[in-house]
């Protein structure tokens, strides 16, 4: 059987343990003195029967609908398997003499079940195959209740569809059904069509879905592999020289060193450690394969003993562990265990649980152990996480594992398709079921974050090093940060940059480079006010939080009418605006024309182009919104609107929120926010400029000739969506007060509960949803915002897990508005992110 990485934690169980759980025949009365291993054998609750003869082994799987001959093996397999079998004293129970956890105990039957005497092999009728599939799940699947499935209703919904369904139609229907389970061990494969595999929307699986790559299983796992490679490369870059190494015993055990004498060990699989999966399905072959993996694991860990002895602690990375054999997982975990301990139990949905114990090592590694795990830790990887969690020196850092721990039972449908399903229930030592829930972390930290990549970080690893009180990996000293800013300014002909770093709720470092005003030779400093562009919107979210607005309530009465062209009402509530789900769509051409010089009110775009295409912009944001959202307005068009409830970033929607706030507070938002947010936090260099730009940095654009052209002071009709000016130090102070769990100063009137809601930290992270909070962007443990406007660029992010953040402000941008150049823009963006990464990693070292 073809196996992807996510297939069962003990694949051999698919081949060996698929034993009968229905039509149990009367046990034979056997003379123990004459008993042999030959006969009919079953394992209650597993739905498979073995017929073991002198020169042949036949394996059947059955349910109440029928029986299928799953495999037939010749005399050579019987001869290879028989010496490994042993009988009970009464001759009625069969087991392995040395069982690596794959075999269990069989019971003797007097005869082959009646349905297996006439197996259904070759039956192609789609309806009958669906009946067989449905009955297999009905009898053997252990988690329909936990996965909130009404299996009987699904039968009523789909049974008519399978009548005379083509192979492609069957594929579609099974895909729809299996997707509802969210179970990585529920797999249906055929020789001619792509395999169908379930998965929980957790970890990188959720990211794949958010990116729209979750079509068939092949494309999903192809994208998943790409994410794995990217994140693993990011991790490898944090290791000390000579980087990631492999054990001689197995290339799958990879290790390296982190700062402070901390070892790093990565395990991505727990089977096929030294050789690929066998092509044979013979039980004896898979038994040998499993035992070889166990021995290889032991040899690799023995090989690592001298290296481990040099370490002061260890980070064990299971974030990408796709499973394998439980026995291999326990063999490796035992190398960290000083005494035999109970780690949990497993059993069928009916019947007793059997204890799972972790053996002790004679030379255990007992130094501090940080285990990284998450939603892409699956199957035997989860069992290993569970085992390690029982150790006194171990801490699990990450998120809940995938929630597919069960061994996978393999059956064959009459048409030859192969089905694997979860039939065993794993529990922790307290009796808590682990399927669906997964193994919970001791220290929460999101282990797969898209923002980690540009920031050259691995948040979970950074957090683990902090817990080990070790230095940050790949930290950037202040001189390196300053040099990077200088090189960036010179390479891209930028006027000035300013930055600040936040650590544990305080501003701990500031940087500046270049000029705030070239004409007057005024240096850029950490206290120079600069346009922060879309970061401005976070003040709207902070205001909603501080005013204790019930975000599901409708907006107050507005000074203009909101109308959709289709005649439907447009009545967004606060939450829809704050999460960019109002159905109000930005038109870039309109918003560019809404930028105007504060000196004469002339369109900035027309000035730059030397045209008169935009006309005269509207300085009043209320009148602008009326012309955009009210029928008959200058900027009104059907393209301004879409269905509500889908996230679509909207400057116009944010501006509508500012008008709603003004209606609620009965004063301009600039005035209210200055008094209620800026003044309490002593942000003296932060303001909404109106006509007074104080000592703000001048904004510049590069000309086609390579010179820097100063821009006139400007504003925009969507004023509060992007016109805030602040300094790097002020903005970092604001970031610390809002995002840190231990801020040096807090914003009066903003409760912790409201702050959590405002930032979106009151709910699980969902990749693809950038705004689960209120105008604050979130990526897992990161929260903040970025900004880009004509002649201005900004970034502001804080990581809750590592308690580190940064602010980066530029009075230039990389859009090359006067001479667009996509190649240059991409290079500029990449260089800016590298600069941001150095700022963040400098903060980790403070």
Q: Which of the four pLDDT bands, split at 50, 70 and 90, describes residue 30? A: low
Q: If 0-12 CB within 10 Å is exposed, 13-18 middle and 19+ buried, where does residue 275 land?
A: exposed
* Residue 279 CB contacts under 8 Å (≥ 6 apart), including other chains: none
The pLDDT value given to residue 609: 87
Residues 162-187 have pLDDT tens digits of: 999 999 999 999 999 999 999 999 99
Sign for the pseudo-dihedral over CA of 164, 169, 171, 172: negative
Q: Which helix (H) or strand (E) holds 785?
A: strand 782-789
For the chain, the maximum distance between any two Cα atoms, rounded to a whole number of angstroms, is: 108
Given a cut of 90, whether residue 15 has pLDDT beyond it is no
Asked if 139 contacts 22 with a C-beta cutoff of 8 angstroms, the reply is yes
Asked if 140 contacts 47 with a C-beta cutoff of 8 angstroms, the reply is yes
Q: Which helix (H) or strand (E) holds 130?
A: helix 126-140
Q: In sequence order, what are the beta bridge partners of 458?
A: none
Asked if 718 contacts 652 with a C-beta cutoff of 8 angstroms, the reply is yes
* Residue 490 CB contacts under 8 Å (≥ 6 apart), including other chains: none
Given a cut of 60, whether residue 108 has pLDDT beyond it is yes
Given a cut of 60, whether residue 606 has pLDDT beyond it is yes
The pLDDT value given to residue 811: 98
3-class secondary structure, 444: strand
The pLDDT value given to residue 2: 22
The pLDDT value given to residue 216: 64
Q: What is the C-alpha separation between 444 and 375, in angstroms, rounded?
A: 12
Asked if 559 contacts 662 with a C-beta cutoff of 8 angstroms, the reply is no
Arithmetic mean of pLDDT, 251-259 = 97
Q: What is the C-alpha separation between 659 and 657, in angstroms, rounded?
A: 5
Strand order in the sheet with 394-398: 245-246, 253-258, 262-267, 313-317, 369-373, 394-398, 443-444
DSSP output for 271-306: S-SSSPPPS---HHHHHHHHHHHHHHHHHHHHHTHH
Q: Which of the four pLDDT bands, split at 50, 70 and 90, describes residue 586? A: very high
Long-range contacts of the stretch 601-609 (C-beta < 8 A, 24+): 604/711, 604/712, 604/714, 604/790, 607/712, 608/701, 608/817, 608/818
Q: Which of the four pLDDT bands, split at 50, 70 and 90, describes residue 219? A: confident
Residues 779-806 have pLDDT tens digits of: 999 999 999 999 999 999 999 999 999 9
Nearest to 522 by CA among 696, 325, 340: 696
User: Cβ atoms within 10 A of the Cβ of 49, count?
Assistant: 28
Arithmetic mean of pLDDT, 123-150 = 97
Q: How far is CA 144 from CA 138, 186, 346, in A?
A: 9, 12, 17
Q: What is the C-alpha separation between 258 and 32, in angstroms, rounded?
A: 60
Tell me what the pLDDT averaged over the chain comes to. Answer: 93
Arithmetic mean of pLDDT, 391-395 = 98
Residues 52-106 have pLDDT tens digits of: 999 999 999 999 999 999 999 999 999 999 999 999 999 999 998 888 877 788 9
Asked if 559 contacts 623 with a C-beta cutoff of 8 angstroms, the reply is no
| Residue 675 DSSP one-character state | I
- Overall residue count recorded for the chain in this entry: 846
Given a cut of 80, whether residue 149 has pLDDT beyond it is yes
The pLDDT value given to residue 490: 96
Sign for the pseudo-dihedral over CA of 704, 706, 710, 711: positive
3-class secondary structure, 527: coil
Arithmetic mean of pLDDT, 206-227 = 80
Q: In sequence order, what are the beta bridge partners of 170?
A: none
* Residue 448 CB contacts under 8 Å (≥ 6 apart), including other chains: 203, 204, 207, 227, 231, 319, 374, 375, 376, 780
Residues 614-639 have pLDDT tens digits of: 999 999 999 999 999 999 999 999 99
Q: Which of the four pLDDT bands, split at 50, 70 and 90, describes residue 18? A: very low
The pLDDT value given to residue 531: 98
Token pair listed for 368 = 């501090």
The pLDDT value given to residue 215: 58
> Worst-scoring range by mean pLDDT, 93-107, 142-156, 829-843?
93-107
Q: How far is CA 440 from CA 52, 132, 329, in A?
A: 43, 36, 18
* Residue 222 CB contacts under 8 Å (≥ 6 apart), including other chains: none
* Residue 70 CB contacts under 8 Å (≥ 6 apart), including other chains: 18, 48, 59, 60, 61, 410, 411, 412
Q: Which of the four pLDDT bands, split at 50, 70 and 90, describes residue 395? A: very high
| Residue 707 DSSP one-character state | P
Q: What is the C-alpha separation between 820 and 830, in angstroms, rounded?
A: 17
Residues 510-561 have pLDDT tens digits of: 999 999 999 999 999 999 999 999 999 999 999 999 999 999 999 999 999 9
Token pair listed for 288 = 């040998």
Strands 262-267 and 313-317: parallel
3-class secondary structure, 676: helix
Q: What is the C-alpha separation between 688 and 678, in angstroms, rounded?
A: 10
Read off the pTM: 0.93
The pLDDT value given to residue 14: 43
Q: How far is CA 232 from CA 235, 236, 239, 317, 447, in A?
A: 5, 6, 11, 10, 11
Q: How far is CA 28 from CA 35, 40, 88, 432, 717, in A?
A: 11, 10, 13, 38, 88
Domains and CATH numbers, the chain: 11-117 (no CATH), 246-405+425-441+448-467 (3.90.226.10), 478-637+649-844 (3.40.710.10)
* Residue 820 CB contacts under 8 Å (≥ 6 apart), including other chains: none
Q: What is the C-alpha separation between 530 and 497, in angstroms, rounded?
A: 10
Asked if 583 contacts 641 with a C-beta cutoff of 8 angstroms, the reply is yes
User: Cβ atoms within 10 A of the Cβ of 98, count?
Assistant: 10
> Worst-scoring range by mean pLDDT, 11-15, 171-175, 284-288?
11-15
Q: How far is CA 61 from CA 42, 66, 68, 340, 411, in A?
A: 10, 9, 5, 37, 6
Task: State the distance between the two ends of the chain, measured CA to CA, in whole angstroms.
Answer: 52
Q: In the Cβ-directed half-sphere of 721, how many Cα atoms lie within 13 Å?
A: 24
Alpha helices in 675-747 (DSSP H): 728-739
Arithmetic mean of pLDDT, 704-733 = 96
Q: How far is CA 67 from CA 27, 53, 412, 414, 720, in A?
A: 20, 19, 9, 8, 69
Token pair listed for 385 = 């996480």
Q: What is the C-alpha separation between 110 and 283, in angstroms, rounded?
A: 23
Q: In sequence order, what are the beta bridge partners of 799?
A: 782, 804
3-class secondary structure, 692: coil
The pLDDT value given to residue 22: 38
């Amino acid at each position: 059987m073809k196996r992807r990485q996510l297939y069962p934690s003990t694949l051999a169980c698919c081949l060996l343990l698929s034993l009968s759980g229905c039509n149990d025949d009367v046990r034979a009365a056997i003379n123990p003195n004459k008993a042999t291993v030959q006969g009919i054998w079953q394992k209650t609750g597993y739905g498979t029967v073995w017929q073991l003869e002198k020169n042949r082994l036949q394996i059947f799987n059955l349910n109440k609908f029928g029986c299928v001959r799953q495999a037939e093996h010749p005399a050579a397999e019987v001869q290879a398997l028989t010496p490994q079998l042993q009988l009970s004293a009464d001759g009625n129970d069969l087991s392995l003499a040395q069982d690596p956890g794959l075999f269990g105990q069989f019971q003797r039957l007097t005869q082959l079940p009646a349905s297996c005497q006439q197996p259904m092999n070759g039956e192609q009728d789609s309806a009958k195959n669906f009946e067989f599939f449905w009955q297999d799940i009905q009898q053997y699947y252990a988690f329909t209740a936990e996965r909130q499935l009404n299996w009987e209703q699904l039968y009523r919904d789909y049974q008519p569809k399978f009548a005379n369904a083509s192979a492609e139609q069957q594929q579609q229907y099974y895909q729809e059904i299996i997707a509802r389970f969210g179970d990585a061990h529920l797999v249906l494969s055929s020789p001619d069509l792509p395999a169908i595999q379930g998965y929980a929307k957790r970890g990188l699986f959720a990211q794949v879905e958010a990116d729209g790559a979750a079509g068939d299983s092949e494309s999903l796992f192809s994208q998943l592999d790409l994410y794995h490679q990217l994140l693993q490369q990011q991790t490898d870059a944090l290791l000390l020289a000579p980087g990631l190494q492999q054990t001689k015993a197995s290339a799958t055990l990879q290790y390296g060193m982190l700062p402070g004498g901390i070892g790093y060990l990565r395990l991505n699989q727990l089977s096929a450690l030294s050789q690929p999966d066998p092509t044979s399905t013979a039980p004896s072959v898979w038994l040998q394969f499993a035992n070889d993996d166990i021995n290889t694991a032991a040899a690799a860990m023995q090989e690592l003993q001298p290296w481990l002895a040099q370490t002061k602690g260890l980070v064990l990375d299971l974030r990408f562990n796709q499973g394998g054999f439980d026995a291999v997982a326990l063999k490796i975990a035992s190398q960290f265990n000083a005494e035999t301990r109970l780690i949990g139990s497993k059993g069928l949905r009916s019947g007793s649980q059997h204890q799972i114990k972790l053996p002790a090592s004679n030379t255990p590694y007992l130094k501090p152990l940080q285990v990284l795990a998450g939603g892409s830790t699956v199957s035997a990887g989860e069992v290993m996480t569970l085992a390690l969690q029982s150790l006194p020196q171990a801490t699990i850092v990450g998120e809940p594992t995938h929630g597919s721990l069960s061994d996978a039972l393999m059956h064959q449908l009459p048409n030859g398709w192969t089905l694997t399903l979860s039939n065993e229930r794993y529990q922790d030592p307290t009796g808590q079921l682990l399927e669906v829930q997964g193994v919970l972390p001791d220290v929460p930290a999101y282990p797969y974050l898209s923002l980690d990549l540009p920031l050259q970080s691995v948040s979970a690893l950074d957090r683990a090093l902090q817990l080990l009180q070790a230095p940050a990996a790949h930290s950037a000293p202040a001189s390196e940060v300053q040099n990077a800013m200088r090189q960036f300014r010179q390479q891209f002909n930028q006027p000035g940059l300013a930055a600040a770093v936040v650590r544990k709720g305080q501003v701990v470092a500031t940087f500046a480079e270049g000029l705030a005003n070239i004409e007057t030779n005024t240096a850029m400093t950490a206290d120079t006010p600069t346009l922060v562009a879309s970061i401005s919107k976070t003040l709207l979210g902070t205001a909603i939080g501080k005013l204790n607005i019930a975000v599901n309530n409708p907006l107050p009465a507005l000074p203009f009418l909101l109308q959709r062209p289709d005649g439907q009402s447009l009545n967004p509530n606060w939450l829809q605006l704050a999460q960019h789900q109002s159905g109000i769509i930005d038109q870039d051409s309109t918003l560019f024309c809404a930028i105007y010089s504060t000196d004469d009110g002339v369109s900035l775009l027309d000035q730059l182009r030397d045209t008169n295409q935009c006309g005269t912009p509207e300085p009043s944001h209320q009148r602008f919104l009326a012309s955009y959202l009210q029928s008959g307005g200058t900027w009104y068009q059907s393209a301004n609107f879409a269905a509500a409830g889908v996230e679509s970033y909207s400057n116009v929607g944010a501006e509508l929120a500012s008008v709603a706030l003004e209606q609620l507070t009965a004063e301009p938002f600039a005035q209210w926010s200055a008094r209620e947010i800026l003044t309490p936090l002593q942000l003296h260099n932060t303001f909404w400029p109106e006509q007074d730009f104080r000592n703000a940095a001048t904004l510049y654009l590069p000309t086609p000739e390579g010179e820097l052209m100063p821009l006139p002071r400007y504003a925009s009709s969507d004023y509060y969506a992007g016109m805030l000016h602040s300094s790097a130090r002020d903005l970092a102070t604001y970031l610390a007060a809002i995002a840190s769990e231990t801020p040096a100063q807090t914003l009066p009137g903003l409760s912790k509960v409201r702050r959590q809601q405002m930032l979106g930290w009151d709910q699980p992270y969902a990749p693809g949803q950038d705004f689960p909070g209120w105008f604050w962007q979130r990526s897992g443990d990161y929260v903040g915002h970025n900004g880009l406007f004509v002649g201005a660029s900004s970034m502001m992010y804080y990581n809750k897990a590592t308690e580190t953040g940064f602010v980066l402000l530029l009075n230039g941008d990389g859009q090359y508005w006067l001479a667009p150049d996509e190649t240059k823009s991409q290079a500029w963006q990449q260089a800016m992110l590298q600069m941001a990464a150095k700022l963040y990693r400098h903060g980790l070292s403070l």
